Amino acid sequence: MEIAVKSPQDWLREIEVQIEADRLRSRIDSLLNEYQDKATIPGFRRGKVPRHILERRLGNALEATVVEELVEQALEEALTKNNIKPATRAKIENLEIATDKTIRFKALVEVIPDFELQDYNGLSLRRQTPTGFDAEFEKRVSALREKCAIFQPVAHPAQNDDFVAVDYVLRENEKVIAGPKNNVTIQVGAEDNHPSINQALLGAGIGDERTATINFPADHPDKNLAGRTITYHLQVRGIKEKKLPEINDEFAQDLGYENLDALRHAINDEIFADWEERIRDDLHQQVIEQLTSRHQFAPPRSWVEMHIAQMLREFNIPDTPTAREKLLPAAEKAARLDCIVLSIAQQENITVSDEEVATQIQNLAQDTGRKPAEIASLVDSSSYHFYLLKKKVLKMIVERAKVQ
């Protein structure tokens, strides 16, 4: 067998292989001998099928099977002899079977490029100091009050911040184009409402009918509305005001706490836990910036493409050439970090066991209120395994760093 290896890119190996015809013929002969002893074909006794009939019936299928087998064996041998460790599955190109049964093919194999691992011990990091505790505390208490708010019917005409239940239809040139819609709640004065809607409802009483005519500009972002004049016909069915609970022991007990002090302690703990997580994430990001800036090399192309695809999904970005071009630098950086993490993990003998993955999935299930089986089906084992490995590596580097 002849093997030639080229490196058109630091992350790519082109392996050209030629397999002697004798290997193909010999393997086919061996299989035909096996099948001849077992083959059952109408008109012939078991094991007595003539060789030429067996060849005619099985020849093409056997050849295809043997070629696939020999190519796989040859590729494995080529990788082993040349100490090539694939970063992804090899891609076979230009597979050719000559008339004399010589097999030739080219394999494209992406690899983690050779690079000198720079010192990652004793990095200088700065610990973030979160501020605004009081504002954050008030924000969380306000959110809890909103969660426990009640809505009470009122007799007065609608005021700003009241919640009005309306029936409505939309007309354009007196023609109904939408509706009727019944019992739709609108908060008077809300910024999301068109000013004409707020103005129409302000001061309205139960049973009142109001109209709001809106001239949508030609450049309105909603093409279905752009350039149109639409009148909203509204009839008020009910008016309610939101009542926020007082902050006292009863409020805390409604939320499941013993008293107000217990609620305050719980909120404090949540804030500090969130801050610690934010600090840790910031330290990890500092490590990532230093690692990727100290190591400059081209990562495997398929890894870059994987990160581009992930970003497109995560940020719900349409998959266009322009979007891919904009995401390319960040994707290359992320793929380069993957290579660095793997190299450090190998040097430090850092691994992640299946048990650790299972434990993390269990914790994730508890945090999200879902069953572990549901989470496990959503988490790709290999990618999640690497996610945990990266967390371990970053944690180790932070522990060895000089944090100020």
| Number of helices (H), then strands (E), in the chain | 11, 11
pLDDT per residue, tens digit, the chain (404 aa), is 899 999 999 999 999 999 999 888 888 777 766 666 665 666 555 655 566 566 666 667 777 888 898 999 999 999 999 999 999 999 999 999 998 889 999 999 999 999 999 999 999 999 999 899 999 999 999 999 999 999 999 989 999 999 999 999 999 988 898 889 999 999 999 998 999 999 999 999 999 999 999 998 888 888 888 888 999 999 999 999 999 999 999 999 999 999 999 999 999 999 999 999 999 999 999 999 999 999 999 999 999 999 999 999 999 999 999 999 999 999 999 999 999 999 999 999 999 988 888 888 888 888 777 777 777 776 667 888 899 999 999 999 999 999 99
Return the bridge partners of 281, or none.
none
CA 177, chain centre distance (Å): 40
Give the residue among 297, 357, 307, 351 at the shortest CA–CA distance from 327. 307
How many angstroms separate the Cα of 16 from the Cα of each of 5, 77, 364?
Answer: 6, 12, 46
DSSP E strand stretches across 30-119 = 91-97, 103-110
The secondary element (H helix, E strand) that includes residue 169 is strand 163-172
How many angstroms separate the Cα of 182 from the Cα of each of 16, 157, 200, 237?
Answer: 71, 20, 18, 9
CA 252, CA 243: separation in Å to the nearest integer? 16
DSSP 158: P
CA 220, CA 233: separation in Å to the nearest integer? 21
**Model-wide pTM > 0.85:** no
Helical spans, DSSP H, in 101-150: 133-147
Q: Contact, 126 vs 286, CB < 8 A?
A: yes
Return the bridge partners of 92, or none.
107
Ordered by where they begin, the domains of the chain are 2-110 (3.30.70.1050), 150-243 (3.10.50.40), 255-403 (1.10.3120.10)
